[in-house]
Amino acid sequence: MTKRKTVLFWIFYPLISLLALAFILFYFDLANGPMVLFVLELVALVLGMIFRFLLRNKKFLFRMIPSFSFLLVSVILISFSKPAIERKRGVSHSQVVETDTLTLKNGDIKGLYSEDQKVEVYTGIPYAKAPVGDLRWKEPQDVENWQGVKDCTYFAPRAMQQDGSAVMSTLVDIYSAKGWYPDYHMNPRQDMSEDCLYLNIWRPHTEETNLPILFYIHGGSLTSGTTGFDDYNGEEMARHGVIFINVAYRLGVFGFFANEELKNESSNHTTGNYGLLDQIKALQWVNDNAEYFHGDKSNITIAGESAGSSCVSALCTSPLAKGLFKRAIGESSSLAIKNPPHTYRNLDDAYKLDKKIMDEFRCSSIQEMRKIKAEDLIKTSFAPQQVSLDGYVLEKQPYEVYQEKNNNEEILLNGFNVKEADAFVVPKFLFSPTNKDNIKERLADYFNEDIANKLVQVYEKEIKEDAFSTFNEIISVYWFMNPHHEWSRIALDAGVKVYSYQFTKENRYHSNYHAGELIYAYGNVRHDKHSYRYDDSDIKLSDMMVTYWSNFAKTGNPNSSSLPTWREYSVSENNLLEFGNEVKEITDPYLKTYPIIQEYMDGQK
């Protein structure tokens, strides 16, 4: 090798290698790759550079061996850079202490104490038989009694669901945080199984009885989610004197598949709502077992966020859930509106879509469909993510039940976040952001030309200032704010007391986007693993929201003397409580948009 080539080698080869290392370093973090993989990659790079130097005078083919070897090692390490699949323990601390035995209706269980031993945590409690084999796509069956003491120290597996890309999830986090905060820790995913009908209990470590119960339904578009998510861990709610229970239910094709053969097979002539039936079964289990874990079955509040909130609005109007709970909390979704914009379909539409699933798997009968492995079935391209008007779980559309004043809840707390739709809309137009020149066309695609014209006129000033944010706001109002606005009004007409809110607090993570309020409302801000995300103002707001939510679960009134007054919702005042840098009453800021959106909704079939 000439002197000139040697100089070029020492300039460009390390530079190219370091660029490759930087890319792989970034990828390892995106894919939840652990630090050990980066160390191995660094060793491979150093060895590659050494051997490349030693072979510098050899023929080209030999000189390229270290580079090709480094590339091969990188590919192998990248293939291993993905989350592990593990069972998740019911508590996060390492010095675990088991609880005394707790006797339930079906048998004895043991759980774990929180680190301060003020909360008892029982995870993975079965509330129904495993919905597998012949029980796939059937109403949930009573759980059988068990012998001995069941170990309830780990969360049960998640319901079957397609796992999204870990790389994409981390990119969303980077977008949300507006910055990259690498940690190089393996963040394992919870295991999953078709055998998923389990619930978890967090209760105060006390001899006090008749404690209020908060029954939480997780979100995830009815196709994903887990009861083990840290943002709605129930320890803090239990410290506030409330028994917190969350429930897993069948998702996607397992929970919301609709088929006429299944309807005829059912003694109740139902199909399409197996996930809702699971939730109702879990509520029945809670009512049957409340006295065993010191709960008051006459003081149950159901709660949910996103698709979980859609389920809450469905349970508020299902005849099967009548008498099983007293109050409801709905966060960021509602079906209590004519022509809901998502999470709902009539049965004929369900049959048509889900026929495509059978065709996809080349099945002509339900018997054949039940033989398909669960791991294959979740790969369907047509995963159902809507509840159906089946005539059994839902006899009528939810808004009709409210109009007839046959709804189930006495008091409703509900609301939305200021940037609900951003996480859904921004990725769609990532490489072609909305601007003042294309916003009208895009609104027409979502609605129609007439509605688009009206929206552009109403938002003329805002579009000139920031068309990107204005478009996102309009879609947020369409998908989220308007359904909650209608839910509040129709519930009030039905004689229900209503408390409404808007969440606007910004932080360095999910901020005030969809699901951003969860970690605040259930008290997990101070327990977040990434300290850069939140500051003292976030902890203060979380403490206030937990107090409001727990007070509501206890008495139906979220107020206390230590908090700003949260007045009941009034149709004439359209008053909301804003959870932001301040907690204060505001007038609903979307009143000018609701009539236009509702005009469009009323025109739908």
Which residues are annotated as catalytic? 306
CA end-to-end span of the chain, whole Å?
Answer: 77
What residue type is assigned to position 468 of the chain? F
Q: Report the C-alpha gap between 77 and 71 in whole angstroms.
A: 10
Rg of the chain over Cα atoms, rounded to whole angstroms, equals 27
How much helix, strand and coil, in percent to the nearest 5, is found in the chain?
Answer: 40, 15, 40
The answer to whether the CB of 210 falls within 8 A of the CB of 297 is no
Helix (H, G, I), strand (E, B) or coil at 171: helix
Helix (H, G, I), strand (E, B) or coil at 177: helix
Q: Report the C-alpha gap between 10 and 204 in whole angstroms.
A: 65
**Closest CA relative to residue 427, chosen from 395, 472, 458, 465:** 472
Contacts of 62 (CB under 8 A, 6+ apart): 55
**Closest CA relative to residue 482, chosen from 598, 600, 339:** 598
User: What single DSSP character describes residue 279?
Assistant: H
Helix (H, G, I), strand (E, B) or coil at 320: helix
Contacts of 296 (CB under 8 A, 6+ apart): 209, 210, 211, 212, 213, 290
Greatest CA separation for the chain? 91
Structure tokens at 384: 């159902």
Contacts of 596 (CB under 8 A, 6+ apart): 451, 454, 455, 458
Strands (DSSP E) along 88-242, which ranges? 102-104, 107-110, 112-113, 119-126, 149-151, 189-190, 198-204, 211-217
The answer to whether the CB of 136 falls within 8 A of the CB of 353 is no
The answer to whether the CB of 533 falls within 8 A of the CB of 544 is no
Contacts of 261 (CB under 8 A, 6+ apart): 365, 366
Which secondary structure element, helix H or strand E, spans residue 554, and what is its range?
Answer: helix 536-555
What residue type is assigned to position 495 of the chain? G
Structure tokens at 287: 């009512």
Structure tokens at 63: 């000189």
Structure tokens at 291: 């006295």
> Sign of dihedral through CA atoms 225, 227, 230, 231?
positive
What residue type is assigned to position 546 of the chain? V
User: What single DSSP character describes residue 322?
Assistant: T
Q: Report the C-alpha gap between 120 and 97 in whole angstroms.
A: 10
